[in-house]
């Protein structure tokens, strides 16, 4: 597009940061706050000059400064291995939002998106691969014995989650383009645009739509919006329809909708979700017994969506 580069890569330093550079960056951010990353290297250097320090300042791209600060130098970053609770949360959240690492990180205090991304790409994916390999071996063995089709619980689980998530997104998108999502998703789930899931006025709401209106969904929505934009957004429900996957700011998301769900019901739904994730956690730790096919969904009486995996 002919856009000018954000920095001169021939002049600016790349590669690992030195302790001196770290200190320059930390000193500057602590004194002036983060933001304006493009000017930060120059300003940080000038501050040093005024203080009569010898070094010439940060010879780094502002982008690199932002990355170093947010992923490594920020004082509230938690170091060390992920706890089982964090692991569980990552599985849950990834099932809902996919590779939206920043959104997942927003739910895990002290963890950065980069850290979670690395954790996913190394640990979780590795476990998934191992599960698939084990399933292939198991399937071959069973086939040689004339047994039935075997399956990898982990692989099936991921496919199920992903499919369900995509379906929920699709339904949300459809709903956002037609009528009030709040009414459709929370009150009765009887919208015709979600007939595949609900199938009738008496059918229970889709679990993801219900989840969306629980505290988890609320938390996501909060993290997805900047404070500034929240101030500017009108309180009514006439927002333009937007893709759910892009913003997680579901149109028509207002308090009247939330009022249709009692606090107790919301807590119950959240617990159902957590219980389901607890199954996942055991599964990823080598329990290759029977795989529960969306027990939470079954509890809600909605099974038709997911039977294709059987």
Partner DNA sequence: AAAAGCTGCAACCGCTCCCAC
Partner DNA sequence: CGTGGGAGCGGTTGCAGCTTT
Enumerate binding residues for DNA (CB under 7 A). 1-4, 6, 9, 13-17, 35-38, 60-64, 66-68, 70-72, 81, 99-103, 113-115, 117-119, 121-123, 126, 226, 228-229, 246-247
- Contact predicate 62/7, CB 8 Å: yes
Output the CA–CA distances (angstroms, integers) from residue 224 to 33, 97, 177, 218, in the order listed: 22, 12, 20, 10
Q: How far is the CB of 176 from DNA (least distance, A)?
A: 15
Q: Based on CB atoms, which residue is closest to DNA, 183 or 223?
A: 223
Q: How far is the CB of 17 from DNA (least distance, A)?
A: 4
Q: How far is the CB of 205 from DNA (least distance, A)?
A: 27
The distance from CA 298 to its chain's CA centroid, rounded to whole angstroms, is 24
Q: Based on CB atoms, which residue is closest to DNA, 66 or 210?
A: 66
- Angle, to 10 degrees, between the axis of helix 84-97 and the axis of helix 263-284? 110
Q: Based on CB atoms, which residue is closest to DNA, 70 or 163?
A: 70
Q: How far is the CB of 102 from DNA (least distance, A)?
A: 4
Distance between CA atoms of residues 201 and 133, nearest Å: 44
Q: Based on CB atoms, which residue is closest to DNA, 82 or 273?
A: 82
Q: How far is the CB of 75 from DNA (least distance, A)?
A: 15
Q: Based on CB atoms, which residue is closest to DNA, 2 or 148?
A: 2
Q: How far is the CB of 37 from DNA (least distance, A)?
A: 4
Q: Based on CB atoms, which residue is closest to DNA, 113 or 280?
A: 113
Q: How far is the CB of 25 from DNA (least distance, A)?
A: 10
- Contact predicate 59/44, CB 8 Å: no
Question: In which region does residue 33 sit, left (phi positive, over 0), alpha (psi from -120 to 50) or beta (all else)?
Answer: left
Q: Based on CB atoms, which residue is closest to DNA, 115 or 302?
A: 115
Q: Which tokens sit at 184?
A: 């459709």
């Amino acid at each position: 597009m002919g856009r000018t580069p954000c920095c001169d890569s021939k002049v600016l330093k790349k590669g690992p940061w030195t302790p001196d550079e770290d200190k320059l960056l930390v000193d500057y951010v602590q004194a002036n706050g983060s933001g304006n990353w493009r000017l930060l290297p120059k300003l940080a250097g000038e501050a040093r000059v005024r203080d009569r320090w010898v070094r010439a300042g940060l010879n780094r791209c502002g982008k690199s400064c932002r990355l170093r600060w947010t992923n490594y130098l920020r004082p509230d970053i938690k170091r060390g291995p992920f706890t089982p609770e964090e692991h569980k949360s990552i599985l849950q959240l990834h099932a809902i939002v996919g590779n939206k690492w920043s959104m997942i990180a927003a739910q895990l205090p002290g963890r950065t998106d980069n850290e979670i991304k690395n954790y996913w790409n190394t640990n979780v994916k590795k476990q998934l691969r191992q599960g698939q390999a084990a399933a292939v071996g198991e399937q071959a063995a069973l086939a040689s014995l004339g047994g039935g089709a075997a399956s990898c619980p982990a692989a099936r689980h991921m496919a199920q989650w992903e499919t369900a998530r995509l379906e929920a997104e699709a339904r949300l998108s459809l709903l956002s383009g037609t009528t009030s999502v709040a009414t459709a998703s929370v009150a009765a789930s009887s919208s015709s645009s979600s007939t595949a899931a609900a199938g009738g006025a008496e059918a229970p709401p889709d679990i993801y739509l219900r989840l969306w209106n629980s505290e988890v969904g609320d938390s996501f929505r909060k993290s997805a919006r900047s404070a500034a934009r929240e101030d500017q957004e009108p309180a009514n429900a006439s927002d333009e329809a937007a893709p759910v996957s892009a913003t997680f700011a579901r149109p028509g998301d207002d308090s009247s909708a939330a009022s249709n769900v009692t606090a107790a019901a919301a807590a119950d739904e959240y617990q159902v979700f957590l219980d389901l994730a607890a199954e996942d956690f055991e599964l990823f730790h080598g329990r290759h017994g029977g795989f529960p096919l969306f027990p939470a969904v079954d509890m809600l009486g909605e099974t038709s969506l997911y039977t294709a995996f059987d």
